[in-house]
Structure 1
Amino acid sequence: MSFNINQYFMQQKMMRKVIYSLIPIILASIYFFGWRSLFLMTWITLWGGVTEYIFEKKYGKGKVSEAVVVTAILFTLTLPPSTPYWVGVLGIIFGVIFGKEVFGGFGKNVFNPALVARAFVYVSFPQPLTIEWSHATTSFLGGFTQYMTKGVDTISTATPMLRFRETGELSSYTDLLFGRISGSMGETSAILIILAGIYLIYTKTAAWQTMAGVLSGFIGLSLILRLFGFTAIPNPIFGVLAGGLLFGAVFMATDPISSPKTKEGKWIYGILIGVITVIIRGYALFAGGIMFAILVGNTFAPIIDEGVRYYKKSKKAKKKKVTA
């Protein structure tokens, strides 16, 4: 009796392209923080697949999608390298169930499952998610020769955003670009994320309008607040390169299921996320902000699309009246 993988696995070309774009970022996470990054990702992906399979079997499908693999990888890359295995497992189980399966499974989720998982562990287990960070190694072979790099002793210098909040100091732009900073495993190297974004746009896997909207909203409000003398807001260049903004804009905000479908809606949605990120970073307890901003954006995505369609319909009706 031959084994047919298609009986248990739903192949999705679009999701595979996202995985391809993430490979350099995954390798960079191993280089900067050690092999624990890959082990944690593998363990989380396994549990994510098992969780989806159990629920999809109840729906009469019984297949694990490539989408859940992407969800598990993205979720893992938003975690600190030292995140306990059991915390990661609880996170992905919660994200798959309450971010996806309760809505009916693949293609029906309102919220990005990876961010639902990240928000759950962030709120439920604050110490390993906000305090326990690891140094990024800069040696020739980097983390390829070790299980995990050393932990950061001082919280105020743990990540670029935390350092700015505590001391007002800005990290080196070179370090931000290449990823030689403490932080979540996949959010440190701006160059690799930008290259991944270009690949996703070129292959028409992700909407450039959403990415551009996030950056426009973020940079625009940051500039305005800086001009008015609000010192809690860093300069836009630093803000874009630090705190996971690029990672969120490229991989999370562009999720085709939980984001708007209309072109105009994608712009509005992206700008809304960028603006909310600035507000959260400057005036809330959370140093990053992009995670919660996207979840808020997910809430408004269907309304934005409806508004755009209604506006277009009413405009078309008025045009017909004029020409009649």
Structure 2
Amino acid sequence: MGLPKKPLFMKQKLMRRVMISLVPIIIVSIYFFGLRALVLLIWVTAIGILAEWFFERQYHKPISEAVIVTCMLYTLTLPPGTPFWIAAVGIIFGIVFGKEVFGGFGKNIFNPALVGRCFVYVSFPEPLTIHWVKPAAGFPGGFALWLTEPIDAISQSTPMLIFRETGQMESWIKLFIGNIPGSLGETSALVIILSAIYLIYTKSASWQTMLAVLAGYFAMSTSLFLMGAPPIPSPILGCLSGGLLFGTVFMATDPISSPVTMEGKWIYGVLIGIVTVIIRGYALFAGGIMFAILIGNTFSPLIDETVKLYKNSRKKVAL
């Protein structure tokens, strides 16, 4: 008798629950921006799976289902009109340099989806920061379109870009529902919040990390806003725009690249929230959550070690 055939994919219930939570966001992205969103997602997922398979086959390991989550998250952070070749370059870079160089699944320091997104953001700034499309309205919306109408004027760009250029912000209703220009999965605060509730209910993501990010964001943003700092928008409107909620729910809570200690999660989350406000207001980038989470990933191991050392020292004092 021959040896049993090894499975192609590693079964991961946690990752499947994250995939389920992303389905409504994908559907909404198709409605607002067109069927190209779905095709882009399929393309990125296929490339991402191949990239991981190329490395894992050398060690006779199955492909992790986490790579599918990575591909979904990465795609949802892209503008609707992102060229397919740029999307492919980004996901390959994210998986190779954000995951495989550290030894594969469970060993990566940084969130691979954000590594890929950051790489294409700084390498191809024009298609990633200038070329946006209008959201569809009515029925069937984007379900009957390949891609919605493009936008060229800054006055009709994404909410954070508009604010940086004009000081004006979209209404909270539009920001909450999501019928605004932006990246595929980051526009609808309503759907992201519903997905967050599902993840928390199924214990698939840390509510402590989510709450800590928002606490750090609101503390820093409110302080600067009340002091009259001109680059800082209203904390509520800022929370509903720029991908803050999407990053908080799906990226900051990545169980591999975030702290495991309870105290560490709070420190890590608050750090991300504070840094997000600083980058948004004073750096060259309109959005700050992407870079803030990668900075948080950098300090994650140190935060956990510091918390453990502090606890051990307290135990010794108690003895």
Common topology (TM > 0.5): yes
Number of the residue aligned with 1:55: 55
Alignment of 1:99-248 (within 5 A): 99-248=98-247
Give, as a single letter, the amino acid of the residue that structure 2 aligns with 1:8. L
CA distance in structure 1 between the aligned counterparts of 2:8 and 2:19, rounded to whole angstroms:
19
Seen in structure 2, the aligned counterparts of structure 1 residues 5 and 209 have a Cα distance that, compared at 3 Å, is farther
**Cα deviations by residue, 1:150-206 (Å, 9 ceiling, x for unpaired):** 101202421000111111111011111111000000000001000111111111110
Runs of 4+ that moved beyond 3 A: none
Q: Secondary structure at the match of 2:108?
A: coil
Q: How many angstroms does 1:228 deviate by?
A: 1.5
Q: 1:27 to 1:278 in 2, by over 3 A?
A: same
C-alpha distance in 2 between matches for 1:153 and 1:129: 13
Q: Please give the alpha-carbon distance, in whole angstroms, between the structure 2 residues aligned to 1:196 and 1:17.
A: 10
| 8 Å contact kept, 2:33–2:80 | yes
| Identity percentage of aligned residues | 62
Aligned-partner Cα distance in 2 for 1:59–1:231: 54
Aligned residue number for residue 8 of structure 1: 8
Secondary structure of 1:7 counterpart: coil
The gaps in structure 2 that reach 5 residues or longer are: none
Query: Which letter does structure 2 place at the counterpart of 1:256?
Result: P
Distance 2:267 2:127 in 1: 34
Q: Give the deviation of 1:140 after TM superposition.
A: 1.6
Partner letter of residue 243 of structure 1? G
**Is the partner of 2:132 in helix, strand or coil?**
coil
The 3 A distance-change label for structure 1 pair 174 and 6 is: farther
SS at match of 2:150: coil
1:60 to partner: Cα distance:
2.7
**Could you give the per-residue CA deviations for residues 211-264 of structure 1, whole angstroms, max 9, x where no partner exists?**
001000000001111122101101110111000000000000000000000011
Q: Distance in 2 between matches of 1:125 and 1:97?
A: 19
The alignment status of 1:40 with 2:52, answered yes or no, reads no
> Partner residue of 1:24?
24
State the one-letter code of the partner of 1:144. F
TM-score by length of 2: 0.98
Give aligned pairs, total: 316
Residue identity opposite 2:216 in structure 1: G
Give the secondary-structure state (helix, strand or coil) at the position aligned to 2:233: coil
TM-score where L is the length of structure 1: 0.96
- Which residue in the other structure is 2:283 paired with? 284
